[in-house]
Amino acid sequence: MLDEDLIVNILSGSPLLETLVLEGFDGYRGIEISSYDESEVDIIKINAPQLKKLKKFEAASSEFDIKLELQLNNWICYVIRCNVKEIILKLSTNKFESESDFKLDQTLFTCSCLTDLTLDLCTCMVIPAGVISWKNLRNLCISYGSLDEELIENILSGSPVLETLELDLCYGYRRLNITSKSLKNLVISKYWNYLNSYDVSTSDADLDGYLDYCIGSEAHIDIDIIEINAPNIQSLRIEQEIDLLKLLLVDVSSLVKANLNYTAPKKVEEEMLKGFIMKLGHVKELKIGILCSQVVSCLQDKGFVFPSNVKFPQVEVTRA
């Protein structure tokens, strides 16, 4: 446990500090770094100097508690006043009664100094209290976040120079409508459908039964389909577990390269991969990774002809 004097001494004695990492963040009881503006409420002063060279701040915890929300948000406010360029938050917890319990400080959502932001929040809601204004943000990664179409639209409209968007095990959205001309790289890494009634750890037999039910049920089919409309992106990666019946590429006409390295429910895996390949026929370089190897073999055994733009850097394939 670090006390207040030690932290102040560390910050005061490190004016050229470029990276600040709080590993196993527990709030550092008694340490709350906040504004020097005495007009603000809930101020707890410490004599922490502004770190003019600070570029990166990271806070990580595998047992984050809602009681530490204020402490974490004060750290965030402090490093933003230092004009930090990159913030990484990796917070895992099962202690929240609801996803709305935890709120990140609004300062984070209106920060003009940030160029890189990673929010690995593990079931926490990424919901700002006001507008989103990331004027200089170029790379955004959100993991384990609940996102709907309106929030995604607010993120995109508030990030005018965003170049790369990575959604890692996010859920709640049914359509990605990305019309931004600045965003060139899109990564979809893992999608677990939290609206489904089955457990992702269930057996293949149980999962197949569930999928049979979904395929024959108009009431459920819409929650197992995601559409991607991104006419300006140039790079697309789809990877890891994709827990969907369909992932439809509506418009990806500007794509130059794509990388597919994912797994899908067995009932739909062949049709999903064929759909991707046919839709991405215009792409200069289409790479198919090792996680798709079994599906590739099955398609090949059934006589499916892979286009010349398809590359198999990790998969053994016999060309016709």
Q: Mean pLDDT of residues grouped by 10 in the chain (320 residues)?
A: 50 53 48 36 44 81 71 84 90 58 85 94 71 96 88 94 95 91 96 54 46 43 79 97 92 96 93 95 94 93 92 63
Residue 11 pLDDT: 55
Q: How far is CA 72 from the centre of its chain?
A: 20
Separation of alpha carbons 167 and 5, rounded Å: 39
The token pair at 180 is 């931004």
**Residue 65 exposed, middle or buried by CB count within 10 Å (0-12, 13-18, 19+):** middle
Residue 46 pLDDT: 36
The closest alpha carbon to 142, from 162, 163, 168, belongs to: 168
The token pair at 11 is 């910050």
Whether the pTM exceeds 0.85: the reply is: no
Separation of alpha carbons 5 and 251, rounded Å: 56
Separation of alpha carbons 217 and 221, rounded Å: 6
Helices (H), 121-191: 149-157
> 93-131 in b/e burial notation, b at 16+ Cβ within 10 A?
beebeeeeebebbeebbbbebbbbbbbbbbbbbbbbeee
Around Cβ 249, how many Cβ atoms within 10 Å? 19
Instruction: Give residues with Cβ within 8 angstroms of 254, minimum separation 6.
Output: 231, 232, 233, 234
Residue 95 pLDDT: 53
Find out whether 45 and 8 touch, Cβ atoms under 8 Å. Answer: no
The helix (run of H) or strand (run of E) holding residue 248 is strand 246-251
233: left (phi over 0), alpha (psi -120 to 50) or beta: beta
Instruction: Report phi then psi at 66, rounded to 5.
Output: -55, -25
Residue 71 pLDDT: 78
Residue 110 pLDDT: 95
Angle (CA) 109 114 117, round 5°? 75
Around Cβ 155, how many Cβ atoms within 10 Å? 20
Around Cβ 35, how many Cβ atoms within 10 Å? 16
Instruction: Return the residue matching tokens 């006001």.
Output: 130
Separation of alpha carbons 60 and 24, rounded Å: 6
Separation of alpha carbons 175 and 150, rounded Å: 10
Find out whether 166 and 187 touch, Cβ atoms under 8 Å. Answer: yes
The helix (run of H) or strand (run of E) holding residue 78 is helix 69-81
Separation of alpha carbons 132 and 122, rounded Å: 21
The closest alpha carbon to 227, from 188, 180, 274, belongs to: 188
Residues paired with 86 in a beta bridge: 56, 116
